[in-house]
Amino acid sequence: MPDYTKDREAAWQLLNEYVKSETLLRHSLTVEAVMRHFASLYQEDPDLWGNIGLLHDIDFELYPDQHCRKTREILTPQGLPAEFIRAIESHGYGLVHDVEPRENVEKVLFTIDELTGLVSATALLRPSKSLHDLTAKSVKKKWKQKSFAENVNREVIEAGADRLGKDLNEIIEETIKGMRTVALAIGLEGNVETGVEAGK
């Protein structure tokens, strides 16, 4: 059995068994990239953090009404450790689950999951449609417009920032940096053709 905590290709293949939506696959790649970036900031294992990000919505497409509550049922038979599964469950804290984010990996996932949606929406409004010229200031400006990306739960992001003890501007800036590493794959490189077939 593959070690899904380390083997990125195996984790990507597992994700594709449960997720077919290109939008959700792109979101998974986005969160993976940001988690890898934050792992480096915290001097943690980027493969472990990245795969947690990659698989964080593995139950959402098939079980939208039981999101985060089907994760354990799916991942335990794959040999994944309890702490890996708990990290994924905790990103639904206060929304769909009562597992509270306590470790840094859990706090980061809880915070950036929603934030990546706001960053993506802001980038798509720019003439370049690119992350490469996007600033935290631009994202914060859109943050204040409650009608913009209204499905993004800003309270969750703020609560996550408080848990991390970090300034929101810093978190936004680092999230943008992480997303830039997969800009082409997630359609935010600019006006070029994109795709997620290889998960790159």
**pLDDT given at position 192:** 52
pLDDT (tens digit per residue) in 23-72: 999 999 999 999 999 999 999 999 999 999 999 999 999 998 999 999 99
**pLDDT given at position 191:** 66
The string of DSSP letters for the chain reads ---TTT-HHHHHHHHHHH---HHHHHHHHHHHHHHHHHHHHTT--HHHHHHHHHTTTTTTTT-GGGTTTSHHHHHGGGT--HHHHHHHHGGGBTTTB-----SHHHHHHHHHHHHHHHHHHHHHHSTT-BSTT--HHHHHHHHT-TTTTTTS-HHHHHHHHHHHT--HHHHHHHHHHHHHTTTTTTT-BSSS----TT--
**pLDDT given at position 200:** 43
Q: Which residues of the chain have pLDDT under 50?
A: 193-195, 197-198, 200
Structural domains of the chain, ranges and CATH numbers in brackets: 8-198 (1.10.3210)
**pLDDT given at position 124:** 96
